[in-house]
């Protein structure tokens, strides 16, 4: 009878524990599978686990109480079922992706728990020691947020072997394509846009493969090469992201780019980089990896790129500063943008695009520079520039519920917020900003979000801030700039923010809503 009760207790335990483990695995994935990052996140977000810890304390008290073991097991089983309700899945912006790595960790956890539970059943066959078995099961549940870290540590050797196999396979595939031209693109911001634009322009003459969406990590690049690269491809455009010093070098060691583009350098991911100099050095790892005859393209309008300089020859592009490829005569309206590009030999060509904003002109000019150096005349690029489409969630124009939505939700940074506000300024109507602000800016985060608020005060008719903690510095910047507090609303979620936006009056004007950033669930 005692064994049956214990097995019933285990069955009830599996439901809330499994749900808690999946939740923790989700956040571990959002924290890039980094042990230190996730451990810090758990300590800083204790409030997210309040219900879990509350049930853990209650269960521990029950497990330690000295009444009959069979009653204790029954009560514990019932409490586990109640805990399952508290642990029920919550709607996620970006749900857990069951990658092979996640599946391997879940298998490891299953084997680990099976061994522990089997071991905890042994005391049942000894007089008066059934309480130990219940206590062990309860402790497993109590420590659920940390078990993924244990599984990750156990799996490190396996993950290294798997990653090495996939990486070597990708290198083998690339080595089998000796005529393939590889272009690496990196930057604190703008790299994905330049990648998409360059892909469209080069397709006028070449068979091109690019890393999709935001596949800019080693495993994302390896997956692209192994799954999509064919012998018929002539150019491979590889986006390269970085959060830590050495990340770009690691990517370059995999794909060995012959040519590179550095779109920008700014205070992005300062929590991991610590200093702006570390960001500069990491981005220029791409330049260091290029062969002697490779072409390096640099954004000449970026003060950090200019300040760092390059030890090797480079091709510059820009708007504000005289460059090898300079955009001028820029005319922007709600319908699109026209501009002129002057090449190194003085050749000029006028372009038009449905995309809006000077920042888009800068990114397009970078793509034009690379394409022209790959042998496509400026005149042939005019049609391709007209065909350019906005990159999803990067100042993407949409119509929703009668509102014009400028979707810039993918990410946000100091330069990007200025470009987004500049774009919002172009529109006629009732201008609304919806934002949770910027993150991963280290010690400068509060200062830069405060500055963001001050800039928004000059453009917006109404501001909706998302997240009470995130809103503090932005709201302070707005108020410091003399913005009326009655035109500021703080929402808990992006859904609540948009519901409020659709409900507010606009004095009969068309609402223009800028959605600047949408933080993932771990913020």
209-260 confidence digits (pLDDT tens): 999 987 899 999 999 999 999 999 999 999 999 888 999 999 999 999 999 9
pLDDT at residue 383 tops 90: yes
Q: What percent of the chain has pLDDT over 90?
A: 50
pLDDT tens across 134-171, in order? Answer: 777 778 888 888 899 999 999 999 999 999 999 999 99
Asked whether the predicted pLDDT for residue 107 surpasses 70, the reply is yes
State the average pLDDT over residues 338-350: 95
Higher local confidence (pLDDT), 3 or 392: 392
29-43, 116-130, 224-238: least confidently modelled range: 116-130
- Compute the average pLDDT of residues 505-514: 88
Cα 221 from Cα 102, distance rounded (Å): 19
Compute the distance between CA of residue 280 and CA of residue 276 in angstroms, rounded to an integer: 6
Mean pLDDT value of segment 96-103: 91
pLDDT at residue 523 above 60? no
- Predicted pLDDT of residue 66: 56
What integer pLDDT is reported at residue 70 of this predicted model?
A: 65
Strand pairing report for 348-353 and 336-342: antiparallel
| Contact indicator for 188, 266 with CB cutoff of 8 Å | yes
Three-state secondary-structure class, residue 65: coil
What pLDDT was estimated at residue 38?
87
Cα dihedral across residues 484, 490, 495, 496: positive or negative: negative
d(Cα 406, Cα 381) in Å, to the nearest integer?
27
Return the higher-pLDDT residue of 395 and 100: 100
pLDDT at 161: 95
Q: 506: pLDDT confidence band, cut at 50, 70 and 90?
A: confident
Three-state secondary structure call for residue 189: coil
The Cα 128–Cα 108 span in angstroms is 32
Helix axes 445-457, 468-480, angle to 10 degrees: 50
Query: Phi/psi of residue 350, each to 5°?
Result: -90, 140
What sign does the dihedral 438-443-448-453 (CA atoms) show?
A: positive
Say which residues have a Cβ less than 8 Å from residue 120's Cβ, sequence separation at least 6.
Answer: 132, 133, 136, 137
pLDDT of residue 210: 97
Residues 6+ apart with CB under 8 A from 78: 12
- 8 A C-beta contact, residue 424 and residue 514: yes
How high is the pLDDT of residue 17? Answer: 85
Residue 41 in this model has a pLDDT that exceeds 70: yes
Residue 317 has pLDDT above 80, yes or no: yes
Nearest by Cα to 184 from 287, 34, 281:
287
User: Is the pLDDT score of 330 beyond 80?
Assistant: yes
- CA atoms within a 13 Å half-sphere pointing along the CA-CB vector of 407: 12
Q: In what order do the strands lie in the sheet with 315-318?
A: 208-210, 235-239, 181-186, 259-262, 296-299, 315-318, 325-333, 336-342, 348-353
Confidence (pLDDT) at 94: 78
- What is the β-pairing status of strands 403-408 and 396-400? antiparallel
Adjacent-strand bridge partners of 430: 511
Model pTM score? 0.81
Looking at residue 32, what DSSP letter applies?
T
Residue 72's pLDDT is 67
Q: How far is CA 495 from CA 92, 434, 501, in A?
A: 12, 11, 10
pLDDT higher than threshold 80 for residue 60: no
At 105 the pLDDT is: 94
Instruction: Give the C-alpha separation, 344 to 325, whole Å.
Output: 6
d(CA 307, CA 402): 46
Question: Band of the pLDDT at 267, cuts 50, 70, 90?
Answer: confident
**Out of 189-198, 375-384, 436-445, least confident range:** 436-445
* Rounded mean pLDDT, 501-509: 86
Quote the CA–CA distance of 274 and 240 in Å, as a whole number: 20
* Residue 520 to residues 33, 464, 523, Cα–Cα distance (Å): 15, 18, 6
Tally Cβ neighbours within 10 Å of residue 273. Answer: 23
pLDDT of residue 269: 73
Summarised one tens digit per residue, pLDDT across range 82-95 is: 777 877 777 777 78
Higher-pLDDT residue of 510 and 4 is 510
pLDDT over 70 (residue 412):
yes
CA-based nearest residue to 397, from 419, 418, 423, 422: 423
Q: What pLDDT, on the 0 to 100 scale, is given for residue 123?
A: 59
The mean predicted confidence, pLDDT, of the chain is 87
Helix (H, G, I), strand (E, B) or coil at 462: strand
Q: Which helix (H) or strand (E) holds 333?
A: strand 325-333
Q: List the Cα angle 72/75/80 in 5-degree steps.
A: 120
Q: How far is Cα 249 from Cα 241, in angstroms, rounded to an integer?
A: 11
Strands 208-210 and 296-299, bridge-based pairing: unpaired
Average pLDDT of the residues in 181-196: 94
CA pair distance 285, 466, nearest whole angstrom = 36
pLDDT of residue 54: 79
pLDDT per residue over 461-486, tens digit each? 999 999 888 889 999 999 999 999 99
Is it the case that residue 498 has pLDDT exceeding 60?
Answer: yes
Q: Kindly state the average pLDDT of the residues 16-36.
A: 87
Percent of the chain with pLDDT over 70: 92
Q: What is the DSSP letter of 120?
A: H
List the single range of 88-102, 174-188, 448-462 with lowest mean pLDDT: 88-102
CA distances from 394 to 10, 419, 450 (A): 48, 11, 22
Whole-number pLDDT of residue 88: 79
């Amino acid at each position: 009878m005692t064994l049956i009760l214990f097995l019933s207790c285990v069955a009830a335990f599996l439901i809330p524990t499994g749900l808690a483990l999946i939740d923790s695995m989700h956040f571990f994935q959002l924290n890039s599978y980094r042990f230190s990052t996730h451990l810090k996140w758990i300590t800083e977000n204790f409030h997210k686990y309040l219900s879990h810890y509350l049930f853990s304390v209650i269960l521990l008290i029950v497990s330690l109480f000295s009444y009959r073991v069979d009653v204790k097991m029954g009560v514990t089983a019932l409490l586990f079922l109640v805990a399952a309700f508290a642990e029920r899945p919550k709607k996620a912006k970006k749900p857990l992706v069951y990658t092979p790595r996640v599946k391997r960790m879940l298998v490891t956890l299953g084997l680990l728990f099976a061994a522990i539970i089997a071991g905890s059943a042994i005391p049942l066959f000894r007089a008066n020691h059934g309480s130990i078995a219940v206590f062990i099961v309860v402790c497993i549940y109590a420590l659920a947020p940390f078990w993924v870290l244990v599984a990750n540590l156990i799996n490190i050797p396996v993950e290294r072997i798997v990653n090495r196999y996939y990486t070597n396979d990708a290198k083998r595939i690339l080595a089998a394509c000796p005529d393939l031209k590889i272009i690496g693109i990196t930057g604190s911001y703008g790299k994905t846009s330049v990648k998409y634009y360059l892909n469209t322009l080069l397709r006028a003459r070449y068979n091109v493969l690019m890393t999709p969406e935001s596949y800019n990590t080693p495993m994302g690049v390896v997956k692209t090469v192994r799954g999509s690269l064919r012998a018929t491809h002539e150019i491979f455009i590889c986006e390269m992201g970085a959060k830590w010093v050495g990340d770009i070098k690691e990517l370059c060691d995999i794909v060995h780019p012959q040519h590179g583009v550095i779109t920008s350098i700014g205070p992005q991911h300062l929590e991991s980089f610590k200093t702006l100099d570390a960001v500069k050095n990491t981005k220029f790892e791409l330049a260091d990896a290029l062969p002697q005859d490779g072409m390096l393209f640099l954004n000449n309008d970026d003060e950090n790129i200019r300040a760092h300089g390059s030890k090797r020859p480079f091709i510059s592009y820009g708007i504000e500063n005289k460059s090898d490829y300079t955009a001028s005569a820029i005319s922007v309206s709600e319908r699109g943008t026209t501009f002129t590009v002057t090449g190194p030999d003085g050749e000029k060509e006028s372009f038009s695009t449905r995309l809006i904003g000077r920042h888009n002109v800068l990114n397009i000019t970078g793509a034009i520079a690379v394409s022209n150096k790959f042998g496509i005349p400026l005149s042939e690029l005019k049609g391709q520039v007209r065909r350019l489409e906005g990159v999803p969630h990067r100042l993407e124009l949409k119509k929703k519920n009668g509102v014009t939505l400028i979707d810039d939700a993918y990410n946000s940074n100091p330069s990007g917020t200025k470009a987004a506000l500049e774009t919002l300024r172009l529109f006629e109507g009732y201008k609304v900003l919806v934002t949770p602000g910027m993150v991963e800016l280290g010690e400068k985060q509060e200062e830069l979000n405060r500055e963001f608020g001050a800039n928004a005060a000059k453009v917006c008719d109404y501001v909706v801030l998302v997240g009470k903690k995130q809103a503090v510095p932005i709201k302070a910047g707005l108020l410091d700039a003399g913005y009326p507090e009655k035109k500021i609303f703080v929402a808990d979620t992006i859904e609540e923010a948009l519901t409020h936006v659709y409900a507010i009056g606009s004095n009969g004007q068309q609402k223009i809503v800028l959605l600047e950033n949408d933080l993932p669930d771990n913020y």
